[in-house]
Amino acid sequence: MSATYDVIVAGSGHNGLTAAAYLAKAGQKVLVLERNDWFGGGCMTGEFVAPGFRLDVHSNAHHLIQANPLIRNDELGLLSKYGLKYIYPDAQFSTIFDDGSYIITYADLDRTCDSIAAISPRDAEVYRKFATMSRETLPLLVSGLFVPPVPQGSFWALLDQSPQGQRLMHMLQKSVLEILYEYFENEKVIIHLAKFASEAFVGPDQKAAGFIVFTMPGFMHTYPGGLPVGGSGMLIEALMKCLQAQGAEFRLNTEVDKVVVEGGRAVGVRTRDGETIRAKNAVLGTIHPRLLERFVDGLDERVAANARRVQTASYAIMSQIFALNEAPKYHAGEEPGSALIAGFGSSRLEDFRRTFDDFRHGDLTAHDAIISAMVNSNYDPSRAPPGKATLTLYGFGPFELRDGGSAAWDARKDEFSDWLLGQYRRYVSNLDERNIIGLRFYTPLDIARHSPSFQNGDVTGVGKFFHQIGGHRPTPELSQYTVPGVERLYLAGTFMHPPGGVTGGGRATAIKMCRDLGIDFERLCR
């Protein structure tokens, strides 16, 4: 029997660490257990390709977290005390089309409208109005984003009380393209906006995902995405410094096998090597709902069945990271290539839609790749040796391939790596073998293996379908970060509210835990 702690945290992704840091600040004795030989989950930075080249495998730019009081108000001192720094490029997202034209979304609304006007003056004016509506809705949305969600019925009743809320209700019931068709005419403008929405793992025709493309301009022009100096892992480093300052303890290579439940209450964990560690107040698990039954015996059958049935996103992600002798040079010019995220693809909307249709049938290469590129060394010199460059490519694809299912990714890994690189080379002039010092390719299957939270290669945990957002994320029973029938067991992760990505969502879990433990969370954040 090991020592007893107030709170035990199983898993060291940024959501679990965020919740843990708030609790440690409140005076709780916290132990963090991590099954891997590194901390951070999907926030992972390292020299994976060549010495001196710091690359991110999963999370890269940090968008939604910028609106979180964790960062906005620096509630834990990550920015002021623990070394976290962000760079905020004005050029946030670009789409470079196969005919050499492009559109850039800037943090600055006027510059964005000017870029759209080069393609469609009419749609540029519409975008200004669209972005203004989005920004008007933002306070309502942000107020409920980083706190425990209200029940779905109450949420709808709340929205129905104001014009901004009713507008959001409208967006919540339609697909991305249905919303864009209501406002915009030019196919390139529609592709550009739908492409950026797809970064949130919602396809263009996915029902009840229209709110993503509607709220995107509000966030982009109010809380632009930030690039963490030194890499995505620097968020983890800052959180761990915060925890260490509050006396928290950590263990690597310690895999939790079971949550220990006595009398209907979580009282500790058992590790795979048989050690039992007790928790006086709570156990916090970054446990994907599909895996909950493995960790908790005797779950209510309805809770367990709904957890097993959660849906992952309709497509997965692959990544390719490079160490380069020099930064890519784009045929379209330096300006669109300098965006924080540069996207590429067909200028024909039908091709764009068919690519996502292909994913549902297990096909990858029938149409142009959906690619995003990040050259982080353009903004952050610490990422590469002097004069050199880093490059990260992300591509979408099916998790289950038509021939051979997900297992076929291993057999065809080199083939798909070459295909993705070949697709990207169409847009650059200098990415021959002389420029590539080294590269690594991660398939959706590799990504699923990296973390139990990334089921089916979905780095957002579970899909952003209407039945899996807000008070129903990931299921109605689990949406309040607790497990019915097991007191003092809490959940945190990308699969919880707020949905997906680097959000600092563990703050909401911490609020719930503080309420149950009698801790004044508001006072904690002053």
Range of the domain at 260: 4-44+232-311+460-524
Domain end: 436, 455, 474, which one?
455
103-160 confidence digits (pLDDT tens): 999 999 999 999 999 999 999 999 999 999 999 999 989 999 999 999 988 989 988 9
Q: Are residues 416 and 502 in the same domain?
A: no
* Mean pLDDT within 293-315: 97
Q: Across the chain, what does the average pLDDT equal? A: 97
Beta-bridge mates of residue 406: none
Which pLDDT belongs to residue 260?
Answer: 98
Please indicate, yes or no, whether residues 449 and 469 belong to a single structural domain of this protein. Answer: no
393 and 504 together in one domain? no
pLDDT at position 385 = 99
Q: Reading across the β-sheet that carries 341-345, which strands appear in turn?
A: 102-106, 91-97, 341-345, 371-374, 389-397, 316-324, 436-442
Are 344 and 468 members of one domain?
Answer: no
Does residue 389 sit in the same domain as residue 444?
Answer: yes
Give me the mean pLDDT over the 508-513 stretch.
99
Find the CATH number of the domain harbouring 245.
3.50.50.60
- 256 domain-assigned: yes
Per DSSP, the residues of 385-420 read: STT-EEEEEEEEE-SS-TTTGGGHHHHTHHHHHHHH
Q: What is the DSSP string of 206-273?
A: -TT-HHHHHHHHHHHHHS--BEETT-THHHHHHHHHHHHHTT-EEESS--EEEEEEETTEEEEEEETT
Together in a domain, 307 and 439? no
In a domain, 211, yes or no: no
Q: Average pLDDT, stretch 365-386?
A: 96
The answer, as to whether pTM is greater than 0.95, is: yes
The answer to whether position 342 is within a domain reads yes
What average pLDDT does this structure show over 359-384?
Answer: 96
How many degrees, rounded to 5, is the angle at CA 82 between CA 250 and CA 64?
90
Q: Does residue 278 form part of some domain?
A: yes
Q: Are residues 324 and 304 in the same domain?
A: no
Number of structural domains (the chain) is 2
Report the phi/psi class of residue 76: left, alpha or beta, with left for phi > 0 and alpha for psi in -120 to 50: alpha
- Residue from 130, 98, 96, 134 nearest 115 by CA: 96
**Contact (Cβ atoms closer than 8 angstroms) between residue 319 and residue 56:** no
Q: How far is Cα 208 from Cα 464, in angstroms, rounded to an integer?
A: 9
Quick check: is 465 in a domain? yes
To the nearest whole percent, how much of the chain has pLDDT over 70? Answer: 100
pLDDT, mean of residues 264-289: 98
Residue 505 lies in a domain: yes
Say what the pLDDT of residue 439 is.
98
Q: Domain check: are 296 and 353 in the same one?
A: no
> Do both 374 and 318 map to the same domain?
yes
Residue 1: per-residue pLDDT = 47
> Which of 425, 455, 485 lies at the terminal end of a domain, its last residue?
455
Pick the last residue of a domain from 428, 455, 482.
455
- Verify that 444 and 351 share a domain, yes or no: yes
Least Cα distance to 59 among 511, 506, 504 occurs for 504
In a domain, 221, yes or no: no
My answer on whether 320 and 425 are in the same domain is yes
pLDDT mean over 381-405: 98
Q: What long-range pairs does 242-245 form, CB within 8 A, spacing at least 24?
A: 242/21, 242/24, 242/25, 242/76, 242/77, 242/78, 242/81, 242/82, 243/17, 243/20, 243/21, 243/24, 243/30, 243/32, 245/81, 245/82
Q: Is residue 238 part of a domain?
A: yes
Can you spell out the DSSP letters for 42-94? T--EE-SSSTT--EESS--SB-GGGGSHHHHS-TT-TTTTS---EE--SEEEE
Task: Name the DSSP class of 10.
Answer: E
> According to the model, what pLDDT value does residue 2 have?
60
Q: Identify whether residues 349 and 303 lie together within a single domain.
A: no
Angle at 249 between CA 39 and CA 522, to 5 degrees: 90
